[in-house]
Amino acid sequence: MSDKTIPLDYANGLLYELEKAFWDERGRGARFRTTTVGRQFLQEKCLPLIQSTDVDSILQVIEDKLKREGIADQVAHNREDRLLRVQLEGCVHRPIEEKMVAHGIEPFTCVPANLMVLAIEEKLDRPVELAEIKLVEGACHLLLVLFDQRPTLR
């Protein structure tokens, strides 16, 4: 395998085209088909670092990893009961969302949000849904909804 890297603009351009094509095919239904994008990154680079079953600790690991890997400059979250509000600044994928909005499509997927959702679901067996993505002055404001732990049948 080559250590060659590709320009971020090129990668984001491809991701935009894939996301747009998926939207054109599925409309709002595309949101529910992109929830696992980022799973490999989570499994290889994040899960080994998660040592706690506390939601805030899990999120802190993901936030730190996003910053260390250069995916986002700043990441912060605030929990209000079942609602999790996340603010991302300087995300490398922001240009994709801006293109979607420019074409009249509300953003429907977010890899950093997926990492948070997948981590909580993996570590706590607790469903989480990305409910909203808003682009606000250089930041993405995400709203995630945490549900109760899945019941176990005995």
71 within a domain of the structure (yes/no): yes
What average pLDDT does range 118-127 have in this prediction? 95
Q: What is the pLDDT of residue 40?
A: 97
1 assigned to some structural domain: no
Residue 116's CATH number:
3.30.1380
Residues 6 or more apart in contact with residue 28 via CB below 8 angstroms: 108
Q: Which of 140, 110, 147 is nearest to 31 (CA)?
A: 110
Number of domains comprising the chain? 1
Evaluate if residue 55 carries a pLDDT over 90. yes
Q: Which residue has the tokens 């499509």?
A: 105
In a domain? residue 3 = no
What are the residues facing 80 on neighbouring strands?
A: 83
Structure pTM?
Answer: 0.91
Residue 27 within a domain: yes
Q: pLDDT tens digits for 69-117?
A: 999 999 999 999 999 999 999 999 999 999 999 999 999 999 999 999 9
β-strand partners of 132: 143
Question: What would the two tokens of residue 139 be?
Answer: 């930041």
**Count of other CB atoms within 10 angstroms of residue 93:** 22
Name residues whose C-beta falls within 8 Å of residue 148's C-beta, 6 or more positions apart in sequence: 126
Domain annotation covers residue 26: yes
Domain assignment of residue 85, given as a range: 8-146
- Pair 71, 89: CB distance under 8 Å: no
Residue 154 lies in a domain: no
The DSSP string of 20-43 is: HHHHHHHGGGGGGGSTTTTHHHII
Per the domain annotation, does 153 fall within a domain? no
pLDDT band at 151 (very low <50, low <70, confident <90, very high): confident
Kindly state whether residue 151 falls inside one of the protein's structural domains: no
